[in-house]
Amino acid sequence: MKVEIESSDRLGISQEILSIFSLNAWNLKAIEVETCFTYVSIESQNVDFHKIEEALKETNGIVNCREIDFMPSEKRENHLHTLLARIPDPIIDIDEKGVVLVINQAIKEIVSPIENNLVGKSIVAFIDCTLDELLKPKEHSLSITFYDRPFIADILPVYSKKRISGAVISLRSIDKLGRQIALMQSSTDGILDNIVGKSEKLQSVMAQTLRFAELDLPVLITGDTGTGKELIARALHQESSRKEAPFLTINCASLPEQLLESELFGYESGAFTGAARGGKPGLFELANGGTVFLDEVAEMSVYLQAKLLRFLQDYSFRRLGGIKELTVNIKIISASHQNFTELIQKKLFREDLYYRLNVLSLALPALNQRVEDIPLLVEHFVKNAARQVEQEAPILTPSALSLLQTYQWPGNIRQLENSIFRLVALNTKRVIQRNDVEDILSVQVFDKNDEIDVVQYESFRDWASAQQHFEKALLMELYPSYPSTRKLAERLKVSHNKIAMKLRAYNIPS
């Protein structure tokens, strides 16, 4: 039986209440005292509520007495357990010795029913890291294995009198983390419905995309720069049975070999200098159940090509510095604007890897091969640009549109979109004429303000800033003619890694 006794805030009243219980030989199991309230839990054998009420009513200061279902601490604990049960992520509360104090329902769903009572046991018996790695003075994250399953552990230290008295550990599954990353990447529902164009070649590509999306096989997308390879890759994922799982992308041309390897396969703690403590999962691991898009896959080094080939045999791999074999279920979509036949002949791309990636192939047409789509694309891009610059959409004269249709567009749809945006942004009239288009199409790849002349020399702070200015202008000038890190590195006679780092530093192509 549990009883709430309301009283005045009088010194010694709690002691008088306890004396009454002692005189009546009522066995107290628990007592909790708050201002003006005393809560007692008593064995109900040979005592009922009315006897207690009668015994207390003569005490000076007693206001009310009533039977309750829960002691205050029990009520708080019930609310806490309900709150923890509602949190989908597994949560573990430990003390300074690593002993588990509290777990939520999500933890019980991970472990077997026989072992689900972790409370009172040491946490280090169930995870692959030490107590010192868990009890850090600041909030931190670790890549851990709990009951043979990989998780990212978010660890919040608990302090008592300015010293660490434990920690609260929240576990995030790798699959869930991958979905969160995919949500942060740009995505659009109904991608195929939003693709602009009615040409026969484009309709053929869209039909193939729908067919290939149903097949759980690797797809290789080829096409010139700016033809929309990533857009088609997203459509392949979104129209597939994997659409609810992560879609993660990486540009193989934008990262040096070592960094690309760690991004794809992940690494264990201490795998190399500068590696994050606790390790890090790679894209293959994060995308489990979903799709990985390898853009500009032809830019991979021969070493990474061999490693990717090994991975594609059974979709198993090891993290850098790791010994545990991991297996994932993902769909690989790759893309490149390069000629694979030439690369294979020059021993720059492995033939066996090419056939692994090219199980299904999609060849995207260049914009000059679907000229009939240009008016529709122009109309679409004009409306988008006008909305971005917050002005009314201008009208193109027939001669201006004719010039846009006859231009070769080496940069394809991306170049057309950028050109239209510039036309709209610079337009001060309601009409875009032929000479406006001619001015835009005659502009160099880099802006004139980027050219170095005598007048600008004084603007440079030091040698490093002048060198950076020159490097950016040089790369922007040459990149359209050598649109890959490998070709650009050969042209400038420097390493592939150096070019990749410089392009990333200067955001080229933007």
The Cα 409–Cα 441 span in angstroms is: 10
Burial 433-464 (b: 16+ CB within 10 A, else e): bbebbeebeeeebbeeeeeeeeeeeeeeeeee
Q: Are residues 12 and 152 in the same domain?
A: no
Task: List, in sequence order, every residue forming a beta bridge with 92; answer none if it has no partner.
Answer: 103, 169
Spatial separation of the C-alpha atoms in residues 225 and 338, rounded to whole Å: 9
**Residue ranges in 195-266 assigned as alpha helix (H):** 200-213, 229-238, 257-265
For 234, residues 6+ apart whose C-beta sits below 8 A from its C-beta are 187, 188, 191, 247, 293
Residue 80: inside a domain = no
| pLDDT band at 454; cut points 50, 70, 90 | very low
Round to whole Å and give the CA distance between 247 and 115: 35
d(CA 405, CA 441) in angstroms, rounded, equals 12
Structure tokens given for 125: 């018996």
Number of domains in the chain: 5
pLDDT tens by residue, 88-135: 888 889 999 999 988 888 887 777 665 667 888 898 888 888 888 889
Q: Which of 401, 426, 442 is the last residue of a domain?
A: 442
Length in residues, the chain: 510
Residues 220 and 324 in one domain: yes
Asked whether the beta carbons of 332 and 215 are under 8 A apart, the reply is no
Residue 99 lies in a domain: yes
Q: What percent of the chain has pLDDT over 90?
A: 37
**Rounded (10°) angle between helices 257-265 and 302-314:** 10
Q: Do 214 and 246 belong to one domain? A: yes
Of residues 406, 346, 342, 350, the one with CA closest to residue 378: 406
Last residue of a domain, one of 338, 363, 388: 363
Query: Judging by DSSP bridges, how do beta strands 316-317 and 395-396 pair with one another?
Result: unpaired
pLDDT value at residue 296: 94
277: confidence class by pLDDT, cuts 50, 70, 90: low
Confidence of residue 359 (pLDDT cuts 50, 70, 90): very high
For residue 81, tell me if it sits in a domain. no
- Which pLDDT tens digit goes with each residue over 178-205? 666 666 655 556 688 778 889 999 999 9
Cα separation, 441 vs 448, whole angstroms:
14
For 393, phi then psi, to 5°, come to: -70, 125
317 and 208, same structural domain? yes
Is 153 domain-assigned?
Answer: yes
Nearest to 268 by CA among 323, 190, 200: 323
pLDDT band at 152 (very low <50, low <70, confident <90, very high): confident
- The number of beta carbons lying within 10 Å of the beta carbon of residue 269 is 17
For residues 201 and 489, which has the higher predicted lDDT (pLDDT)? 201
Distance (Å, whole) CA 438 – CA 422: 12
Query: Cα–Cα distance between 20 and 13 in angstroms, integer?
Result: 11
**Residues 288 and 358 reside in one and the same domain:** yes
Report pLDDT for 160.
Answer: 86
Residue 510, domain member (yes or no):
no
Verify that 275 and 347 share a domain, yes or no: yes
For tokens 């790798």, the residue is: 174
Give the residue with greater pLDDT, 352 vs 34: 352
d(CA 392, CA 383): 8
Instruction: Kindly state the average pLDDT of the residues 356-365.
Output: 95
Cα(495)–Cα(21) distance, integer angstroms: 87
What distance in Å separates the CA atoms of residue 381 and residue 219, rounded to the nearest whole number? 29
State which of 442, 469, 490 marks the end of a domain.
Answer: 442
Q: How is residue 13 written in tokens?
A: 């009243």
Q: 37 and 151: one domain?
A: no
Which has the closest alpha carbon to 322: 78, 67, 194, 145? 145
List the structure tokens of 445: 């790849």
Mean pLDDT of 330-359: 95
Range of the domain at 43: 2-74
Q: Which residue did the predictor score with more confidence, 307 or 190?
A: 307
- Residue with the bigger pLDDT between 360 and 279: it is 360
Q: How far apart are CA 413 and CA 199, in angstroms?
A: 14
CA 227: distance to chain centroid?
26
